[in-house]
Amino acid sequence: NFLSYPRLRDWIDLRTQLERLCAELQLDVASASGGDNGLHRALLTGLLGNLGKRDPENGDYRGARGIRFAIFPGSGLAKLKEPRPTVSSRAPSPAAGRRPAVLSRDWILAGELIETSRLFARTAACIDPSWIEPIAKRLCKSSYHSASWDATRGFVRVKERVTLFGLVLVEGRTRDYSRIEPAEARAIFIREGLVAGAFPTPAPPCLTANLARIRTLLDAEEKTRQHGALFDPEAAFIFYDRRLPQNLCSAADLRRWLRENATASDALTLTEADLPPVRDLSQAYPDAVTLSGNRLALTYRHAQGETDDGITCTLPAALLPLAAAWRSEWLVPGLLDEKLRWMVHVLPTRYRRLLQPVEETLSMCRSRLAPGQRELAEAFSDALYATRGIRVPTDCWNEESVPDHLRMRFAIQDEAGRELGSGRNISLLVKLFAPRSEGAGAAVQTPDARWQKDGLTQWDFGALPAQLDVGKAGWPIIHYPALVEAGDTVSLRLFAAPAEAAAAHDKGVCRLFALALGKEWKRMIQPPSLPRDVAAYLKQLDMCAERLGHELGRAALRETFTEGRPAIRDETVFHERLAAERGRLHGVHLARSRLVVAILHAARDVEHDLLTAALPPDTQEDLAEELAWLIFPGFAESIPATQLQHLPRYLEACRVRIQRAQGNPHGDVRKLNELKPLWQRYTSHVALAEPPRHDPALLADYRWQIEELRVSLFAQELRTPAPVSAKRLDALWAQVLRP
């Protein structure tokens, strides 16, 4: 059978000698049976040069020192298509409830390498690569890469690569870098863990204080877009490097050192002398804006090319209708100058050349630009015209051409704080994420039945708070409860804006007063008896006596019970005011009715004079427009009593002006040119599709001051209650536009 008797005797003698040695060493040979894996591990100690790792691309094996070989075709391993199950010498038996280990052909050990047509491995077996490193430890070579700070575990980790004769045994194993290169690990620990602030919680108090001071500097750099101008990471590194022991490389080392050294904490604390001073940026770069009582956070980031570069306003979806009316293009004071420079830079060349030098132009305009509810482009155009005499049409300003960091970004969040979307086009965001909104002045839908009531006919629902915080998940969202007139009843609703809530509430309260008056109210709204000429003029206004009766009744209610007084929000106050003022209601109604009839008489006379007088076209047009703004359907109700009493004087001033303009048309046009810009900015302001938010009292004051200026210019002998001039109106307009 091709067996050599001398070789058999040699093997028997060798086995006998090994058994005798094991017996002398008291080794139990029977219990140390390792099976195939044990045999292969034993052979591995002497055959490290015959290892092979399969190349998945070519299907052959890479061997030690760059050789390549294949399994001999006649080998049983070459014919094996699937990995065979093999029981490891250290693994428990299958009877112990675990499956035997399965070795793949990715790694093999060859008994011999024979080169014929190519290099072949014979007498080969599959091995587990984890066997190799413990056996060949002294021959293995380790290299390290990708050292980084582990902020969770608080040490510097590094990736290890272990090779044997060029074969990669381990790739990417994590090691503690301080045990390999302590100096480099210490430097990384200082830069990332201490200077950058990625220290595992809880951080020592001294480090927390340092990070707060550093964060202040970094925030200032983000706001001013000047990276490195305030905080020097290298200086902070030197600060820690000089104070920390050389063997301190991890968070655990730092905590232990601080516990063992009483003065160490003070030595590691940054003082004002160690950091540059920071000026107060709260005015130029505020951390939040307030919109109708709601505080909206602003975050700053200097990251050119990133989607969140610039200022981001975090906005609850419920407040989107309010934000749509916010003039966010003014940004914040600290970025306004830069935006103005860019606005000039992207102008058409014919206008840009006229505004050079830009810095001098901006210096002249700056005092005339007051951030507020007016469009920035419109305000800038007016400032340029006032200072340089250059009129830049507002449609020449291109907001889209300005860099992203100079356009407000909005991050829209739901009630749970999840981001729904973001962008710089607020109109588009309103359409996407506020589909139920009906505009900034609409009532807000709410599932809370306490603030969603209909069919109210008397005050039996308790007191109404001035405002409510209806936010969820930490969002402070302020809404304003108000009574809303709904036909012959009243409803209770929430509003997002206080001005709209106040206007609706006044009408709702007056409706409750009307319901409480009963028959007395029905008598008040009866159609008044009017002279024939007044009735005819009323018909020209598309009005009738029935409508005028209702308007006079509602106006008398408001003048008697609510006008010029704090809003009624309590049932007790409601009934007390009803009892106290009810007696003078009839007199107020009668006086207002007589005043309105007199006003209609005067207005008819002005219209007659306009039709018969020969006036310059500009004068004719201006007077007709003034009359239309004074006398219109609903004027008897909508104009407050304090202003309604002045309408006869305004109409008389119109008649005086008509007479004088016929004799001195050029003088009238000259005065009109002084008045026209003041009047046009008001009409343009209120004619916007979505009027900006403003103080309604200031805007109304401006409107009536225009009428007083007309009296002062065209009929000075009629006098005005207070001094009035174009300069005073400019100052008042600036207050109107102030946020």
pLDDT digits (tens, 9 = 90+) for 98-143: 334 557 788 999 999 999 889 999 989 999 999 999 999 999 999 9
Q: Are 503 and 558 in contact (CB under 8 A)?
A: no
> With 80 as the cut, is the pLDDT of residue 28 above it?
no
- At 34 the pLDDT is 66
Q: How sure is the predictor about 391, in pLDDT bands with cuts at 50, 70 and 90?
A: confident
Task: Compute the distance between CA of residue 643 and CA of residue 633 in angstroms, rounded to an integer.
Answer: 17
Give the mean pLDDT of 705-727: 94
> With 90 as the cut, is the pLDDT of residue 164 above it?
yes
> With 50 as the cut, is the pLDDT of residue 487 above it?
yes
Give the mean pLDDT of 696-713: 93
Secondary structure of the chain: what % helix, strand, coil (to 5)? 50, 15, 35
Whole-Å CA distances, 477 to 303, 312, 315, 410, 500:
30, 18, 10, 16, 16
Q: Are 509 and 567 in contact (CB under 8 A)?
A: yes
Give the mean pLDDT of 315-319: 82
- At 296 the pLDDT is 86
- At 635 the pLDDT is 92
Q: What is the pLDDT of residues 619-642, one digit of tens each?
A: 999 999 999 999 999 999 999 999
Give the mean pLDDT of 283-310: 86
- At 293 the pLDDT is 72
Q: How sure is the predictor about 94, in pLDDT bands with cuts at 50, 70 and 90?
A: very low
Q: Are 500 and 691 in contact (CB under 8 A)?
A: no
> With 70 as the cut, is the pLDDT of residue 87 above it?
no
Which DSSP symbol is given to 457? -
Q: Are 242 and 181 in contact (CB under 8 A)?
A: no
Q: What is the pLDDT of residues 350-386, one digit of tens each?
A: 888 888 898 998 888 888 887 765 688 888 888 888 8
- At 163 the pLDDT is 94
Buried-exposed string 46-59: b where 16+ CB fall within 10 A, e elsewhere: ebbebbbbbeeeee
Q: What is the pLDDT of residues 645-690, one digit of tens each?
A: 999 999 999 999 999 999 999 999 999 999 999 998 888 877 764 5
Which DSSP symbol is given to 277? -
Give the CA diameter of the chain: 150
Give the mean pLDDT of 261-290: 85
To the nearest 10°, the Cα dihedral for 596, 601, 605, 606?
A: 0
Cis peptide before 665 (omega within 30 of 0): no
> With 50 as the cut, is the pLDDT of residue 160 above it?
yes
> With 90 as the cut, is the pLDDT of residue 454 above it?
no
- At 31 the pLDDT is 60
- At 384 the pLDDT is 87
Task: Compute the distance between CA of residue 683 and CA of residue 676 in angstroms, rounded to an integer.
Answer: 10
What phi-psi label fits residue 197: left (phi over 0), alpha (psi between -120 and 50 degrees) or beta? left
How many degrees, rounded to 5, is the angle at CA 34 between CA 33 and CA 35?
100
Torsion sign across C-alpha atoms 579, 583, 584, 590: positive
Q: How sure is the predictor about 228, in pLDDT bands with cuts at 50, 70 and 90?
A: confident
Q: What angle in degrees, to the nearest 10, is found between the helix axes of 571-581 and 545-561?
A: 110
310 membership: H or E segment, kind and range: strand 310-316
- 77: exposed, middle or buried (C-beta count within 10 Å: 0-12, 13-18, 19+)? middle
> With 80 as the cut, is the pLDDT of residue 460 above it?
yes
- At 329 the pLDDT is 85
Range of lowest pLDDT (55-59, 103-107, 131-135, 564-568)? 103-107
To the nearest 10°, the Cα dihedral for 528, 529, 530, 535?
A: 70
Give the mean pLDDT of 320-346: 84
Give the mean pLDDT of 393-420: 85
- Residue 207 tokens, joined: 């480090």
> With 70 as the cut, is the pLDDT of residue 472 above it?
no
Range of lowest pLDDT (160-174, 283-297, 299-313, 334-348)? 283-297
Q: Are 549 and 525 in contact (CB under 8 A)?
A: yes
Query: Which residue is associated with the tokens 């005797």?
Result: 9
- At 85 the pLDDT is 46
Q: Are 40 and 127 in contact (CB under 8 A)?
A: yes
Distance separating the N- and C-terminal Cα atoms of the chain = 108
- At 692 the pLDDT is 55
> With 60 as the cut, is the pLDDT of residue 392 above it?
yes
Q: Are 382 and 353 in contact (CB under 8 A)?
A: no
**Strand 141-150 relative to strand 84-85, pairing:** unpaired
Give the mean pLDDT of 237-246: 92
Percent residues over pLDDT 90 in the chain = 43
| Helix/strand/coil for 516 | helix
Q: Which residues contact 46 (CB under 8 A, 6 or more apart)?
A: none
> With 80 as the cut, is the pLDDT of residue 477 above it?
no
Amino acid at 593: S
Tell me which range, 214-223, 427-436, 582-591, is most confidently predicted by mean pLDDT: 582-591
> With 70 as the cut, is the pLDDT of residue 609 above it?
yes
Task: Compute the distance between CA of residue 233 and CA of residue 217 in angstroms, rounded to an integer.
Answer: 11
Q: What is the pLDDT of residues 538-560, one digit of tens each?
A: 888 888 889 999 999 999 999 99
Q: What is the pLDDT of residues 492-520, one digit of tens each?
A: 988 877 878 888 999 999 999 999 998 99
- At 86 the pLDDT is 47
| Helix/strand/coil for 120 | strand
Q: How sure is the predictor about 401, in pLDDT bands with cuts at 50, 70 and 90?
A: confident
| Helix/strand/coil for 313 | strand
> With 60 as the cut, is the pLDDT of residue 88 above it?
no
- At 729 the pLDDT is 93
> With 50 as the cut, is the pLDDT of residue 439 above it?
no
